[in-house]
Homo-oligomer: A and B are copies of this chain.
Amino acid sequence: MKELKDRIRKDGKVLNADILKVDSFLNHQIDVELLDHIGMEFKKRFENEKITKVLTIEASGIAIACMTARHFNVPVVFAKKARSGNIGSSVYTSVVHSFTYDRNYDITLSRQYLSSDDKVLIVDDFMANGQAMLGMIDICRQAGAEVGGIGIVIEKGFQDGGDMIRRQGYHVESLAIVDAMDPETGIQFRE
């Protein structure tokens, strides 16, 4: 998606070969017009799937999910990162390993909001090693829901999450795939 890649080149900050900061438009300050275009692009790429719900994980995924679900006319559901006192005991739960913080955390989703009647589009801002995505796929499996597609805004193509999940047979669409990056020479996108 050209508009997105141009924006990443213009406003993204490459801190080192691993960390790309896009918090001026994607995950701290949010350019809702850009996100609306991202949602339209996901609609185009998954328009043959009869999506019934858009699933994401808090917090930054929520913005993308809302601006995507609008174009499918379906609800958003978001997994929470820790069991919350008010959520009730009837939840799907999966364990996710964070390499960034070197710890495990639980993600939970109330059983009421995902079932075997659902065909799910999972969206997130980043995919690197794919651990959070595996957790969301696991929650869909527990619910008996079908994964109709996976939409990623920025995939770190130099980490193995995207390839691992494609090998499992899922339809993954990443709007920008970064193959390499460097504070000096900038970002190399996959064609």
Which A residues lie at the B interface, using CB under 8 A? Answer: 19, 21, 23-25, 28-33, 35-36, 58-60, 62-63, 65-67, 69-70, 73, 75-78, 80, 85-87, 100-101, 109-110, 112-113
- Nearest B-chain residue to A112, judged by Cβ: B24
This chain's copy number in the assembly: 2
A24 — which chain B residues lie within 8 A by C-beta?
112-113
A76 — which chain B residues lie within 8 A by C-beta?
29-30, 32, 63
Contact between chains at A110 and B28 (CB < 8 Å): yes
A31 vs B63: C-alpha distance in the bound complex, in angstroms? Answer: 13
A172 vs B113: C-alpha distance in the bound complex, in angstroms? Answer: 32
A63 — which chain B residues lie within 8 A by C-beta?
62-63, 66, 76
A19 — which chain B residues lie within 8 A by C-beta?
86
**A32's contact among B29, B69, B113, by CB below 8 Å, is which?**
B69
- Nearest B-chain residue to A109, judged by Cβ: B28
